[in-house]
Amino acid sequence: MGISHLISIVGAGPGDPELLTVKAVNRLKNADVILYDALAGNEILDLAKPGAEKIYVGKLHNDGQNQVERQNSIHAKFLKFSKQNKTVLRLKSGDPMVFGRGAEEVRFCRENNLNYEVIPGVTAGIAASAFFDIPLTERGKSSSLLFCSGQRENGCFSNMDSIAHILNSGSSAVIYMGLNILADLACALIKNSVESSTPVQILSNISRINQSICSTTLGNVSTFLEQNEPDSPATIIIGKHATQI
C-alpha cells in the first residue's frame, strides 16, 4: 500500500529513537505533517524529512487543556490534511493502543473513510521491565500480567478488585499515569488484603539518559514519597516478584 493520503498512527516507544520500529522510521522520513505528543523527543522528530510540518498536539499533567476539545482538534487536522492530499503521521508515545487514545483516532478514521494504519511501539511498562531487569512474567512465579491506569472515577479506583486479585496470585501489575495517586492506591490495595511487604518499583524517564528507579514496598509508599520526589513521567510496577534480578 502506498503512503499517499495515508494517516499513520505510530507508536514512538518510550523515548529512545533506537527503539522505533523500522516501519515507524520509514513513515517519519516520508511524512508531510507530523502531529506529535508531549513525550516525543527532538531526536525522534529530527528523523523527519526536511520541510515536514511538525505540530504539537500533546498534553501534560495539569496543563489545563480540555481533553475532549484537544482530541477533536486532532481529528479536525486529520480531515484537513487528508483533503490536502498530505501524508500525516500521528506520533504517539509508547504504543497507540495502550493508554494512548489510539482507539478514538482509529474509530474517527474509519467513520470518516480515511486511509489509515497503526504501527505499534514499545510501551513503557515493557521497556521499564527490560531496562531494569524486572521480569513481568516468569515460569513458576508469575503467569499473568495486568496493565492498568492510575486514573480514578468519581474519586474511586474502579478496578481495585482486579488489581488485588492479580497481585495476590503472585503476578504483577503495571500502573500507568499513577505516580500522583500512588499513596492512595497503596492504601487501597492493603485494605484489599494485598501484603504490605509487596515490592513497588517506580521507574522514571524510561530509555532516556536520565532514567532512574526507586524501590519501596506498599506499606512504605507514603513515607517514601514524603521523603523523595521521583521524576515524571513514571511507570510503576507492583508485585511479589517485581524485583530486579
DSSP-based three-state secondary structure for 18:
helix
Would residue 95 show up in a list of annotated catalytic residues for this protein?
no
How far apart, in Å, are the Cα atoms of 195 and each of 7, 16, 173, 200, 219? Answer: 47, 35, 14, 12, 8
Q: Which residues pair with 217 in a beta bridge?
A: 199
Instruction: Please report, to the nearest 10 degrees, the dihedral formed by the alpha carbons of residues 138, 176, 150, 159 taken in order.
Output: -40
**Active-site residue identified among 32, 37, 92, 95:** 37
How far apart, in Å, are the Cα atoms of 221 and each of 102, 136, 201? Answer: 32, 21, 10
Would residue 16 show up in a list of annotated catalytic residues for this protein?
no
Q: Is the dihedral of CA 178, 182, 188, 190 positive or negative?
A: positive
Beta-carbon contacts of residue 43 (< 8 Å; ≥ 6 apart) = 17
**Active-site residue identified among 54, 59, 77, 86:** 59
- Dig out the grid coordinates for 178 from the structure: 499513577
User: Which residues are identified as catalytic?
Assistant: 37, 59
